[in-house]
Structure 1
């Protein structure tokens, strides 16, 4: 058969595939067409490098297949399908009879105690949990029986984002290339993902879709900035708006845009819990098969867990990153996480429609949007397009998607799961264990609460204003403690069989053999140093977030390595070291004014700020040398700890507890040497639940205090403006809801009272004012503002500390209310 010779010229293609093609054709012509088609679709076996966006699996004909979607460095998209992975976990040898036919092998993995484990195979991933639960109910220990199937595939190969693919590439349907059963290896890979932001608009009841706006750039720089408008009236559409007659038509066009744009990342603001959720409801209502992925498959949305949780969306071959979640998981703090507020703060612009219309007839924003849709299509479409654009531009400005991909490359988690610190720790730790042929215990699902855990040390502040104060800070204290004392779950287990161990202050023991967690940190520390030296803030921040998560993970009951003794060993050593630091500075003749976890505040004793700054730089060298000697003598360890001279406050104000005489912890303000900037910690100016007026007054009062300027006249002027109503726009409170409104029963705080009076859906962050009728939402306030409340609860508290430092009293400064009132 000569066409078989032709097919044989294709390098190493799958013979089984060929036989299936031939058997499915009638006659020579069909076989020849199949042969030429395969020749055109198969590329010679070679190496490719790319980045994995999504790891999942499919069960086909009773067998699981790993699916890895991603993008190559050359820009092409790919799908890896691996049929060879078998779902499995491990058990103690004592479970041999209970496991029965599921046993695959012995001696492949060992427990922390060095005991050989049995490998248990199951047919599909869903078979593992019931078998695991049955074995555990019988008293047998299981190991790694909770690890997700697709993630285990990557863990076993230590593939973290970047991947090298060696195999045949075939033309795909939905992806550019498809690889069946290739060889995969870890690789370094940085890609520029293609990102589409979108936003939908609905009527107030969310039961009618009005528009879908999309925004993004293609690889060649072409801009997608369009909006689909559902309109049955044949109205003329503004530029960049496309009219469709029905919701179904809108969904169909949106799916087509998604396919043509071929986004790696879908994003938006509250895009999972609102936009995608609503689109899924519309699709169900109009009986439309909503296909947004790179291959056919229904979008899956996991609803939020708990009141403050966020949903998670799975779209085949694409990842969904919500803008709000990216901010929070990247530790970007905002007073208000609404799109308008964040856009104003980050970009200097906001939405094109306010919360109230010009004629003040639509206090509800959604009703205003509907009114604009009905009467002003140009403004409506501009509003929809702006929302999509702002969402993407905020993320680009803060480089949050770049950060998510950098964290993915560090942890092995897909970019949409990098905030899962326990899963990230699992990936790294299990990968390291497997190199040692060790398996970790399964997560104990019955564990519900954490054991007693201690925090960091805090010294009581010496209240008052202090000149030229050094602030010394331990560089990455908890990670450095882990490295110095070999604090590690495996090292802790090994210490039970050893005599010469490292004993921490809480009595916890660790082997002196190199631990897994310290070794992980040994790799991460130089990575961060290199990133900082290169000016790569994204990489540096990604490493910092990961390293700082390790302590918290060990103290979390849902972590497989949870152990309060280990977590307390870290904090206990931190407290001991801070106490030793205080004693060291005092032995050098300096006064320690305050200390908190990893920082110590020391009065330099110098009147000249320049001299104080120079001495602070040199003092840490002596300190670190003495600390190294101390740790070697007391514990027999090599110090990985380093105290740094962080800054000099030319003036430092340590506040007292409000209404008391002792110093307030984590609450101070200081002017930094070489700058006019004042740094506030724990003060009202940095807290979301204080009004903007209180923050402005506090900031200005401290500026005058530190500069030696007069404060009484300033405060009197502010009070006059306040009473005149000129500052009313600064009297808004912002407070987040901690639980559903209905859950507030016995103690109902003001922001909840305001929400309960409203017919609008409760927002996550409530904006309200205090009126003579009580708390009311800003957009629905009807009663006059309660000015006495603001005077006593906002102005007085922030002014008193500064006035007391100057020997003044608040009532003295502002005088009798009747004398300064303007009406």
Structure 2
């Protein structure tokens, strides 16, 4: 039979020596399900020296018994845009990959071992076009839930999933929680200080407070875990929960010798990649990760962010200084205030979840990281996973991550602001300037021409100031990726014009176009991140050089038109608003620089 399901979480285990991918999600009827994939196998690529493919393949085959190699195959791929012969080596178990990589790297004739560091379930999702927070259809056979997982059905996949898209997600059950700890000696210590209140807010409207019996929190933690499991949420949200709440609760469980078994797959929350805690079968989302990206809020406390976003105003809630929590617990007259404080905290957390989750869901779907990972991952990792998916589609081998020292390069231009109070000021903003420059000049690691490589001047673009050269043809890796992102965003924005802004479909599309913009704009910064697989300082340096030229030229044209320029920075300029002259400036920029610029804001007063 065929089942349509929405993917929430992914994991894998090795069962009797063979890997099993587990895809956790919901079907169209709202049932919680897990899909088991047992036919996929791990693999990596070996890059041999040119002309030695057959000999290297034979040498690798000698390791078949030691590492349980299932296949050795010479394939055609591209590496930084150049055609190469690579050896694809398939292994029976992902557990042997690290040892295999280390051994094969020493084989005579081997240049590099690639794609041996990709997590197995991510490899499966990339190769099979499976996207978190998206709908898929798959041929399945229902099997018994022998492990007692907290799901309505267990399926064994009989076909490759077909991706159906990222239309509206199912109705998700959300559980927000927040803990308060006894702290008479300052910073609470989980080896000593109990959790005195655990507050929970659920998407069914219930708010619950689990309180300690004096200083005994054993029952408190148990009741919290029972409530969470009973409600069976798809998404658990907290604020700074990966850094404080989860590790503190787990430490208290160790003190009491109890287990915090709250996952759908059985087991406790466990520290995972990017510093987040994985709750198998659910999405554990730390909302602080998204609050960090709000530049307007300098001190990102829960109450500050909730106040800024209009979730709960500070003057409408109880505020208690953190260091005095224990005083309010010890004083019977003050304890009701502490309980209200805990309630306000968890209601704020739930409200922030309503604000952040729609965007997080779309971001997860676009970059391919599960919902619990996408917030915890840095912007660089988000971009990279998107690029890795694109590389697979394009037949590009994924480079290894290499440790390298930080290399400085000159950034964007910043014009010194004109002092004083200025009235009637227009902000002119370039639409996705850096992505468009990278597309226009084909700026990419695979199109970069080293200084000592001879090439005809009419075959390359030359960056101003820095002189870096990039081939005009064929389209580079970054250009192809960015064109797809910007075109997808353009189509969505066009689609939104025909929808009611209050409709659910409009809101989903709006969050998606925002996520597409974020990833497109972050790609430039990724180029200069020393941790990037596709790192190339010259790419970042050339992009900012072209950006500086665009801003400098825009300022010159504006002044030639008689406009007063107040300020300029990165991809925008501030000018005295004179409508006719501004319209003329926009037209000239569009024609001469082939870039889109528009009036973003008009301020009555700037100082």
Q: For 2:601 and 2:341, how far apart are their aligned partners in 1?
A: 46
Counterpart of 1:575?
A: 548
The structural deviation recorded for 1:518 is: 2.2
Contact 1:67 1:81 in 2 (8 A): yes
- Superposition TM-score, scaled by structure 2 size: 0.83
Contact 1:340 1:350 in 2 (8 A): no
Q: For 2:119 and 2:211, how far apart are their aligned partners in 1?
A: 41
Cα distance per residue 1:449-495 (max 9 Å; x no partner): 22232211233444445565554322111011112112223333799
SS at match of 2:446: helix
- The correspondence of residues 220-619 of structure 1 with structure 2, limited to 5 A, is 222-231=204-213, 247-301=217-271, 311-329=275-293, 331=294, 333-345=296-308, 346=310, 347-349=312-314, 353-355=318-320, 364-372=323-331, 378-396=336-354, 399-419=355-375, 420=377, 421-444=379-402, 446-447=403-404, 449-464=405-420, 469-492=425-448, 499=456, 500-505=459-464, 506-529=467-490, 530-531=492-493, 533=497, 535=501, 536=507, 537-590=510-563, 592-602=565-575, 612-619=578-585
Counterpart of 2:174?
A: 195
1:82 aligns with 2:72: no
The structural deviation recorded for 1:353 is: 4.8
Are the structure 2 counterparts of residues 498 and 293 from structure 1 closer, same or farther at C-alpha, using a change threshold of 3 Å?
Answer: farther
SS at match of 2:165: coil
Q: For 1:193 and 1:136, how far apart are their aligned partners in 2?
A: 46
Q: For 2:315 and 2:279, how far apart are their aligned partners in 1?
A: 30
Contact 2:141 2:157 in 1 (8 A): no
Contact 1:450 1:564 in 2 (8 A): no
Cα distance per residue 1:141-163 (max 9 Å; x no partner): 12222222111111112322213
Cα distance per residue 1:377-426 (max 9 Å; x no partner): 64444333332222112332xx2011110111211111222243333323
Q: For 1:344 and 1:647, how far apart are their aligned partners in 2?
A: 24
Counterpart of 1:163?
A: 135
Q: For 2:421 and 2:221, how far apart are their aligned partners in 1?
A: 63
Q: For 2:425 and 2:100, how far apart are their aligned partners in 1?
A: 62
Contact 2:44 2:89 in 1 (8 A): yes
Match of 2:124 among 127, 148, 153: 153
Contact 2:450 2:469 in 1 (8 A): no
SS at match of 1:119: strand
Contact 1:49 1:187 in 2 (8 A): no
Q: For 1:375 and 1:62, how far apart are their aligned partners in 2?
A: 60
- The correspondence of residues 37-76 of structure 1 with structure 2, limited to 5 A, is 45-50=1-6, 52-76=7-31
Q: For 1:418 and 1:679, how far apart are their aligned partners in 2?
A: 37
Match of 2:152 among 168, 172, 176: 176
Contact 2:246 2:269 in 1 (8 A): no
Are the structure 2 counterparts of residues 390 and 432 from structure 1 closer, same or farther at C-alpha, using a change threshold of 3 Å?
Answer: closer
1:142 aligns with 2:84: no
Q: For 1:470 and 1:281, how far apart are their aligned partners in 2?
A: 54
The structural deviation recorded for 1:291 is: 0.7
The structural deviation recorded for 1:647 is: 4.3
Q: For 2:385 and 2:301, how far apart are their aligned partners in 1?
A: 33
Stretch deviating more after TM superposition (204-213 or 270-279): 204-213
Q: For 1:645 and 1:622, how far apart are their aligned partners in 2?
A: 14
Counterpart of 1:117?
A: 86
Task: Flag the structure with higher helix content.
Answer: 1
The structural deviation recorded for 1:88 is: 1.4
SS at match of 1:223: coil
Q: For 2:28 and 2:447, how far apart are their aligned partners in 1?
A: 40
Are the structure 2 counterparts of residues 502 and 339 from structure 1 closer, same or farther at C-alpha, using a change threshold of 3 Å?
Answer: same
SS at match of 2:264: coil
The structural deviation recorded for 1:521 is: 2.3
Cα distance per residue 1:9-28 (max 9 Å; x no partner): xxxxxxxxxxxxxxxxxxxx
Q: For 1:339 and 1:284, how far apart are their aligned partners in 2?
A: 28
Counterpart of 1:105?
A: 73
Are the structure 2 counterparts of residues 583 and 251 from structure 1 closer, same or farther at C-alpha, using a change threshold of 3 Å?
Answer: closer
Higher relative contact order (CA 8 A, sep 6+): 2
Are the structure 2 counterparts of residues 257 and 591 from structure 1 closer, same or farther at C-alpha, using a change threshold of 3 Å?
Answer: closer
Counterpart of 2:52?
A: none
The structural deviation recorded for 1:128 is: 2.2
Q: For 2:566 and 2:194, how far apart are their aligned partners in 1?
A: 62
SS at match of 1:316: coil
Match of 1:208 among 186, 194, 214: 194
Highest Rg: 1 or 2?
A: 1
Cα distance per residue 1:613-660 (max 9 Å; x no partner): 2442343123311334xxxxxxxxxxxx21223345xxxxxxxxxxxx
Contact 1:158 1:186 in 2 (8 A): yes
Contact 1:263 1:318 in 2 (8 A): yes
The count of corresponding residues between Structure 1 and Structure 2 is 555
Counterpart of 1:41?
A: none
Q: For 2:532 and 2:327, how far apart are their aligned partners in 1?
A: 47
The structural deviation recorded for 1:338 is: 2.0
